[in-house]
Chain A
Amino acid sequence: MPAYPPSLERLIKHLSKLPGIGEKTAARLALYLLRAPGDLAESLSASILEVRRNIGLCSKCFNLSDEDPCHICTDMSRDLGVICVVEEVGDLLALEKAGAFRGRYHVLQGVLAPLEGVGPDNLRIKELLQRVQRETIREVILAINPSAEGEATATYVAGLVREKGVNVSQIALGIPMGGDLKYTDAVTLRRALDGRRESQ
């Protein structure tokens, strides 16, 4: 005999499927939603449905958006000549949060991963090359994570973009702010030294 009424049991089961949520946390969330003040449960379920119905990928940059093209692609105050290429939407959000980049983006939707069977045809590389050719782009910045697959992807994309006659640059790699040289791995240290620049 289940401890909770069937409908509550169903909600707990669904919540426990979410990443990072175990059965106990799911039960706590379900019980909270049951007793939550006001219309929290109603507005939460409406938001989930709205997101599922309206959010899609921008047809230009492949960012998540509820309009097509997305608000970044249609923002004329941004630098239209620079595209920053990222792996995932999460990386785009991190860069936007930092506020350091005012151009537009292109989300590859992953990196080349031989062991997962992910090749160039499975990423948005073709679409990037079409954008570079169609729009007046003077620079493509590659902000792809420095993993083995990420670096191979960056090198591959850089070669293809360069063939179109457009400048390609890559974000710097080195010691993070507040980092400690003692704990930094040999590869990062070497790259940090290779990428050193004249002191300001």
Chain B
Amino acid sequence: MVIRKNEAIILRSRDYSESDRLITFFTKSNGRLTGIAKGARRSKKRFVHSLEQLSYVTIAYADRSTSGLVRIDASELRSAFTGLRGDLARLGYASLSCEMVLEISPERQSNSALFSLLLQYLHQLEQGADPENTSLLFQVRMLSLSGYAPNFQTCVFCGQEAYSGKNWYVSIAEGGLLCTAHPGIHGTYPLSVGTVMLLRRAQQTSLTKLWRLRFDRKSREGCRVFLLDLIRHHLEKDLKSLKLLRQIGALNAAG
């Protein structure tokens, strides 16, 4: 049995049996893991309220194999992102990002870039960044870091550079951009060349500069629908967090 200590973000926390908790957490160096925290519902000293969803912690766990549950021994809170608790829309967007990482990242596969992205995204949300804009940037970058990035460079059929032309389409089935020379393809989403450039920058720019990018009101709607459809296509299921965002009016029903 190997004892590990790791930085982690708690993605999901559920009650398990009489006094335990089943925790799914995303670590910086070991990817997504699920473990049992024995007595976490009763012990106020060992875990001191650090195993709640969205908490950024230093977690110690015993791992005895290459699969299955780990045993969580201790957890120390680094940030609880308490600023998100006073705003339901922000909490909803934060939960949406956790659910995306939970579903899209394979178990025990290290992805430190995705960890840094999620951590910075939660900080941005807590510090008052526009939740919808920040969420779109997170989604574009998360898809890139998880290997699901659409091709925003050239037309997937004729190879035309996305610098030229005014209007473009993006197709989930074809995995990228289509220029106007290929009409009649089903299931495409129209994008202006400016939006294509922005999506491209969101895929490539450094993490510190990512949050400076801004989607204008017009491009937001189209990008939101396209990105959520793309994520739904890869996961083959709907995300539960969207239900709350729709109910409180933070997300258009079309999303």
**Which residue numbers of A lie inside 8 Å of B, CB to CB?**
19-20, 112-121, 147-149, 151-153, 155-156, 183-188
Contacts and interface: CB of A to CB of B under 8 A. Distances in A.
A19 B17 CA distance: 7
B223 interface: no
Contact of A152 (B45, B48, B91): B91
Contacts of B245: 114
Contact of A148 (B91, B99, B248): B91
Given A115-B95, A187-B77, A148 B240 contact: no
A147 B52 contact: yes
B36 to A, nearest CB: 16
A116 B199 CA distance: 30
B49 A152 contact: no
Interface in B89-143: 91-92, 95-96, 98-99
A151 B99 CA distance: 20
B85 A114 contact: no
A120 B99 CA distance: 19
Interface of B: 12, 17-18, 44-45, 48-50, 52-54, 77, 80-82, 84-88, 91-92, 95-96, 98-99, 240-241, 243-248
Contacts of B77: 185-187
Contacts of B85: 148, 151-152, 155
Nearest to B78: A186
B52 A152 contact: no
15 contacts: A114-B243, A115-B240, A116-B240, A117-B244, A119-B246, A120-B244, A148-B52, A148-B85, A148-B91, A149-B91, A151-B86, A153-B88, A155-B88, A156-B88, A185-B50
Nearest to B240: A117
B98 A115 contact: yes
Contacts of A121: 247
B18 A114 contact: no
Given A118-B244, A119-B247, A185 B12 contact: no
A20 B18 contact: yes
Contacts of A120: 244, 247-248
Given A112-B88, A155-B86, A187 B18 contact: no
A159 to B, nearest CB: 9
Given A114-B91, A117-B244, A152-B84, 15 more contacts: A19-B18, A114-B95, A114-B240, A115-B98, A115-B99, A115-B241, A117-B241, A120-B248, A121-B247, A148-B84, A148-B85, A151-B85, A152-B86, A155-B86, A155-B87
A186 B78 CA distance: 9
Closest 8 A/B residue pairs (Cβ): A114-B95, A119-B247, A117-B240, A151-B85, A114-B241, A185-B48, A119-B244, A152-B91
Nearest to A159: B88
A186 B50 CA distance: 10
A198 B78 CA distance: 31
A147 B247 CA distance: 21
Given A119-B248, A187-B77, A187-B82, A114 B52 contact: no
A183 B45 contact: yes
A112 B99 CA distance: 15
B48 A114 contact: no
A149 B13 CA distance: 11
